Amino acid sequence: MIAVGNIESLPVRSDLVGLKPYGAPHLNVPVQLNVNENAYPLPDVVVDSMRTAADDHFAGLNRYPDREFTALREHLVTYLNGVNERAGDTVELDPSMIWAANGSNEVLSHIVQAFGGPSRTVLGFTPSYSMHPLITTGTGAEWQHVERKDDFTLDADTVAAEVARANPDIVFLCTPNNPTGTSIGLDVIEAAYDNCAGIVIVDEAYAEFSRPAKSSAMTLLEGRPRLVVSRTMSKAFACAGLRLGYAIAAPELIDVLRLVRLPYHLSEITQVLACTALEHAEVLLGNVDRLIDSRNRMSAHLAEAGFTVHDSDSNFVLFGNIASPADLWQKLLDRGVIIRDIGIANHARVNAGTEEETEAFLSAIDEILAESPDVFLERPQTPTPSSAAPTKGTP
């Protein structure tokens, strides 16, 4: 339990009063599909390798770790250059372009600390990742936002106009976007960059779940020293508990981040385990296609049931036409399944699970609809033999 007191009795910053901390329910239920984790545990071969690698470093824990995480940089560059090569992109990264921290949240925090702060503004396109405004406010910068279209997409012309209007010090773009799952084109990122003098952050936490694979914003880095791409090992790599995120940017931008990081911010064990995970990238990423299959199965089933389902390039599905997301959340929880009520009116989000978890979720949905047809905001029409089959992902 977290004690809640009267913060107004403390000399807290006025811009923090009334804000709510980030948090999702952490409940011990059989099927946990609410925080976009990779549902599959680490394979035994990876666990054994991690155990062996860590054993070799325990005796040296009396010494500080390599604060420049040299070996980890090399491993990340090898992985990322492979990603770009397989996508047919010619970009070639080097270790001086890599930053890493305890999850992508700390990476983003470092960037906003360095380029945001009091009297500066940060622009985002919402709904998007709820930590972006919290990280912004935490530095004393002003958060501004522009609503996405009704289908949660963004186009280059709109982004160009809004960025030029706001003239922010930092722009957040998220692709695939959390919590909607929608991706943006490279032209949108170029439009944001070309219309402001500030930093453009492209949050690619879910990039590995795009099928077919889309070109990363990493391909735009050459000649754009104000562009930075953030990624994570929490999702596709199934290492959420490890807490390792990283950024790719011009060496001069990476240099600035050293000014705000805490000393020795990445522990020896974190670096060792992350390196080991990257050495087993092919094994760890082997479950990505299974999760995509689960995501697609969820999308098709929910659409057929009468929900509005949005196309997703991530490991989760946003679905709507829900009369009360809170009620649906509770009905699922009563059946041992937890999803996320993310605050978008008449919508909820569910992340892809194992085959067994996916079956449990869909069975629970069917049971709820059989018992409570009033779940829908608008009752879907009953299909007739002449009706076209519902299109997966159609908003």
**CATH assignment of the domain containing 236:** 3.40.640.10
56 domain residue, yes or no: yes
Instruction: Decide: 100 and 69 in contact? Cβ < 8 Å.
Output: yes
296 domain residue, yes or no: yes
11 domain residue, yes or no: no
The domain in which residue 102 lies consists of 44-279
What is the token pair recorded at 112?
Answer: 């906003």
Looking at the DSSP assignment, which residues form a beta bridge with residue 338? Answer: 32
Q: What's residue 5's pLDDT?
A: 60
Sequence length of the chain is 395
DSSP per-residue codes, 28-95: --SEE-SS---SSPPPHHHHHHHHHHHHTTGGGTTS---TT-HHHHHHHHHHHHHHHHHTT------G
Domain count, the chain: 2
Looking at the DSSP assignment, which residues form a beta bridge with residue 173? Answer: 202
Q: What's residue 259's pLDDT?
A: 98
Q: Please tell me the distance from the alpha carbon of residue 103 to that of residue 244, in angstroms, as a whole number.
A: 4
Tell me, yes or no, whether 115 and 255 share the same domain.
yes
Q: What's residue 221's pLDDT?
A: 98
pTM greater than 0.85 (yes/no):
yes
Tell me, yes or no, whether 64 and 97 share the same domain.
yes
Q: List the pLDDT tens digit at each of the 395 positions of the chain.
A: 455 567 777 898 888 888 888 877 788 999 999 999 999 999 999 999 999 999 999 999 999 999 999 999 999 999 999 999 988 888 999 999 999 999 999 999 999 999 999 999 999 999 999 999 999 999 999 999 999 999 999 999 999 999 999 999 999 999 999 999 999 999 999 999 999 999 999 999 999 999 888 899 999 999 999 999 999 999 999 999 999 999 999 999 999 999 999 999 999 999 999 999 999 999 999 999 999 999 999 999 999 999 999 999 999 999 999 999 999 999 999 999 999 999 999 999 999 999 999 999 999 999 999 999 899 999 887 654 433 344 443 33
**CATH assignment of the domain containing 300:** 3.90.1150.10
What is the token pair recorded at 158?
Answer: 């709109």
Q: What's residue 21's pLDDT?
A: 85
Tell me, yes or no, whether 29 and 56 share the same domain.
no
Q: Please tell me the distance from the alpha carbon of residue 249 to that of residue 8, in angstroms, as a whole number.
A: 40
Q: Please tell me the distance from the alpha carbon of residue 116 to that of residue 111, in angstroms, as a whole number.
A: 8
Burial degree of 176 (CB within 10 A; 0-12, 13-18, 19+): buried
Tell me, yes or no, whether 139 and 196 share the same domain.
yes
Q: What letter represents residue 59's amino acid?
A: A
Q: Please tell me the distance from the alpha carbon of residue 203 to that of residue 184, in angstroms, as a whole number.
A: 11
**Residue 152: closest CA among 294, 374, 342, 378:** 342
